[in-house]
Amino acid sequence: MKHKKELALLLLIGFLISGLVTAAASEAGSSNDPFVALKWLQDTFFPKAEESVKDHVDDQLDGLKDHLFDAGTVGSELRVKRGDVIRLESGSSLIALAGELSASASGVILDVTEGIEFPSAGGIILSDHRYLAVENTIAAFSVTTDTAVIRLTGIYQFNPSQEIDYNALADALHNAGMFEGSTVPYGSGYELERAPTRTEGIIMLLRLLGEIEEASMFQDASVTFADVPNWALPFVSYAYHKGYTVGRGVNAQGQVVFGATDTLTPRDYITFTMLALGYTGEDFTWKNAVNDVRDMGILTNGEAVLLSEKPFLRAQVVYVSWVALSTKTEGEKSTLLDRLTSMGVIDKAISDEAFSKVTVQRL
């Protein structure tokens, strides 16, 4: 690799300088003959220096190997999180499929989609545009949203941040059968970058209750909502029948609606998770759910701030669900996850394996 040769050259120069000084004071010269003998340089110093440099370069590259990857010419997809930095070698490219990234470079980044150079001052890149690091350029892309999905080609270096890894939480929930992706053909369909809907909130509630299978077979012609798609009608109707949720009343056309595509709010989802944990409306209020649940000791102060001040996205749904699963249910000593495994809703061995990989710390 180009950088390996450059590193070796720099190190060799350093060895030459220090080595010549050392040699002049030792075996290569004396007070009577202070000059380094050419034969000694050729036969002794240079071979030893080259071997030492090679070993040092290999050690340096070994230290980087965990962060250096080859996406190939076909490319590979990567889910990343806030603060992660991706550095592209010359000839490598990046596309943001979801989320937001900023870019800067020592050289030139080309927006291949538009056929123009990216501003030298840097800035936010455009979604679905291919950005290429041209010759003699190292391009750095930093993730500025909670999560993002990118596609890469060529050689790149990945430097992870210490921010919340919502992607890892989504993987764990998915592998445990508690979170499903959509039909979006990237990022495992998780769509962590967009706001959740009320329909998605209801389905997550039913999973946390362990009633998703029962709900999927629910049929009741007396419970209908004009705005709920056919695939979701059994779940919404079941939740309405059980009293887990209410509709939005009647629309201008006189039809009963649920608000299926309305945005799910933090207090909506906190209310759902508290219901799954066995709490009732007597324990907290929907209007002040986030602060009430924090005062109950179920949410931390950091989590209450997260839910009160930041956009509530599917990434946060994943986080709150993970917190709920690790929380003890009302009046019991076991967690919600323990309850679901004891019910046979979640396979314990699979869930243990899935959650053992999570290193996320609560706020």
Predicted local confidence at residue 51, as pLDDT = 64
φ, ψ (nearest 5 deg) of residue 226? -65, -25
Half-sphere exposure in the Cβ direction for 163 (13 Å, CA): 20
Q: Which residues of 198-209 are buried (b: 16+ CB within 10 A; e: fewer)?
A: bbbbbbbbbbbb
Q: Collapse the DSSP code of 183 into the 3-class scheme (helix H, G, I; strand E, B; otherwise coil) and give the result.
A: coil
Distance CA 174, CA 295 (A): 30
Q: Which of 106, 103, 156, 155 is nearest to 131 (CA)?
A: 103
Q: Which of 213, 228, 343, 327 is nearest to 270 (CA)?
A: 327
Predicted local confidence at residue 58, as pLDDT = 52
Across the chain, which has 363 residues, the per-10-residue mean pLDDT values are 49 46 46 56 64 54 64 94 97 98 96 96 97 96 98 96 97 96 93 97 97 93 86 94 87 86 96 94 90 96 95 98 96 92 94 94 94
Distance CA 157, CA 139 (A): 10
State which amino acid sits at residue 196: P
Query: What's the predicted TM-score (pTM) here?
Result: 0.81
Predicted local confidence at residue 61, as pLDDT = 47
Q: List the domains of the chain with CATH numbers.
A: 2-64 (no CATH), 68-159 (2.60.120), 167-356 (no CATH)
Predicted local confidence at residue 17, as pLDDT = 44
Predicted local confidence at residue 52, as pLDDT = 59
List beta partners, residue 103.
123, 141
- Contact, 236 vs 202, CB < 8 A? yes
φ, ψ (nearest 5 deg) of residue 41? -60, -45
Distance CA 224, CA 358 (A): 40
Nearest-10 Cα torsion for 187, 193, 198, 201: 60
One-character DSSP codes across 206-248:
HHHHT-HHHHHT---TT---TTS-TTTHHHHHHHHHHTS----
